[in-house]
Amino acid sequence: MHSILKTSCAAVAALGMAATAAFAEGHQLTGDLKITSDMSNPAPRAVMEGLVAGFQELHPDLNIELTVVDREAWKTQIRNALGANPPDVVNWYAANRMGPYVDAGLFEDISDMYANGDLPGLDAVQGALTLDGKQYGVPYTYYQWGMYYREDIFNELGLSEPVTFDEEIANCQVIVDSGRACYAIGTKFLWTAGGWFDYMNMRTNGFDFHMQLARGEVEWTDPRVRETFANWRKLIDMGGFIADHQSYSWQEALNFMIDGEATSYLMGNFAVAAMREAGLTDEQIDFYQFPLIGDFPQGEDAPTDTFHIPSGAENKENARAFLQYVTSANVQTEINSGDALGQLPINAESGVDADEFLEQGFAMLSTNAKGGVAQFFDRDFPAEMASVGMEGLQEFMVFPDNLDDILARLEEARQRIYQ
């Protein structure tokens, strides 16, 4: 049969995805291609349907079958789906979230596609798909984390964007002396504390060390981990964070920045929409990369969504061609535009919408994230370790004197969870 998405050509037109002759010239695909996607919300679903229709235009004799499942349901269904008679392409997530399926032999090794130039422009994000030196999929969208700040207040106080942690601390002292907190944060739901630990640890000890800790290869009581917490405590002890942050969600804590009671927020780019909706203008807010601490290339948090080929797929060559198509520069530009996903393309040769923060994030991740791209604490660490860990991180922010007990608990959990 032909594609079950005959009407999706309209989605392609809406996205502006022109067929790229390079994918079709001299290599018309035939046979079948079965795709299971969790892009079930309206905008992502339109993108997924547009991708299928665009690929169908390039290969009209290819029979494409797309199955879209609920995103939350897919988290429990994927293992069974990868077993007997799996599809040829599936959606998932990068880094540790793909680890169990790699370890079980359920995701195809596509390292040769990276090595032989089939996937140009992906150097900055290749590490997110790498386990034990091999690559097991491709990314298709991500977004930056970093420090969003009140530029108008910085100007009022005579501050500039810090490059080093010493400059960050000096700025923070001026802000505290002005009667404000340096940082808004809401740790009621724990995960925001994970973002702070990610950056403090990547900057103190480097990306590679951070990922070794995530894989359970480093003890939580290691002196290098303690150094991370010591640097973090400098900001806590000087009153850098808003009070009672454990009582607020991230959205509730954003009000402190909106009202000018705090000047900065370490957060993902999704926070920009909330700031704008609350009335802050782009002249009032700006963004900078988390400052340097140790002498390490800068790793960044950039949660990444991915496509994978199941190891038991029947149509792997067609699947590989689809992965090439999805990651190509032009397609990446279109599917991540403001009319589609509204996020960042993973191909360094792509373009981004004329949005100040998307442009800054793209430049940072494409050229300045030289340490590597992490996926965020609760994706890089196994689920149980992430849960225990984030509880400890929140406790540290409220009761920093409890550090020894916290690290002892996390180390006990590491020994149990990773055995």
Q: Which residue has the higher pLDDT, 94 or 327?
A: 327
Which residues have CB under 8 Å from 367's CB, separation 6+? Answer: 124, 348
Q: Domain map of the chain by residue range? A: 6-143+304-350, 145-301+373-417
Task: Tell me the per-residue pLDDT of 341-373, one tens digit each, with 9 for 90 and over.
Answer: 889 999 999 999 889 999 999 999 887 767 888
So what CATH class is 145-301+373-417? Answer: alpha beta
Which residue has 């996020």 as its token pair?
A: 343
**351 is written with which tokens?**
């373009």
Q: Let me know how long the chain is.
A: 419
Domains 6-143+304-350 and 145-301+373-417 share a fold: yes
CA-to-CA separations, 40 to 68, 69, 308, 319, 345, in angstroms, rounded: 6, 6, 17, 21, 20
**10 is written with which tokens?**
């309209």
Residue 128: band (very low, low, confident or very high) from pLDDT cuts 50, 70, 90: confident
How far apart are the C-alpha atoms of 184 and 237, rounded to whole Å?
15
Task: Tell me the per-residue pLDDT of 1-37, one tens digit each, with 9 for 90 and over.
Answer: 333 343 333 444 444 444 444 444 457 899 999 999 9
CA-to-CA separations, 353 to 44, 334, 362, in angstroms, rounded: 17, 9, 10
User: Which range among 65-74, 76-85, 129-138, 220-229 has the greatest average pLDDT?
Assistant: 220-229
How far apart are the C-alpha atoms of 243 and 224, rounded to whole Å?
28
User: Looking at domain 6-143+304-350, which CATH architecture does it have?
Assistant: 3-Layer(aba) Sandwich (3.40)
Task: Tell me the per-residue pLDDT of 229-288, one tens digit each, with 9 for 90 and over.
Answer: 999 999 999 999 999 999 999 999 999 999 999 999 999 998 998 999 999 999 999 999
Task: Tell me the per-residue pLDDT of 298-309, one tens digit each, with 9 for 90 and over.
Answer: 999 998 999 999
- Quick one: pLDDT at residue 218? 98
Contact 363, 382 (CB under 8 A): no
How far apart are the C-alpha atoms of 201 and 293, rounded to whole Å?
9
Cross-strand pairs, 306 = 92, 139
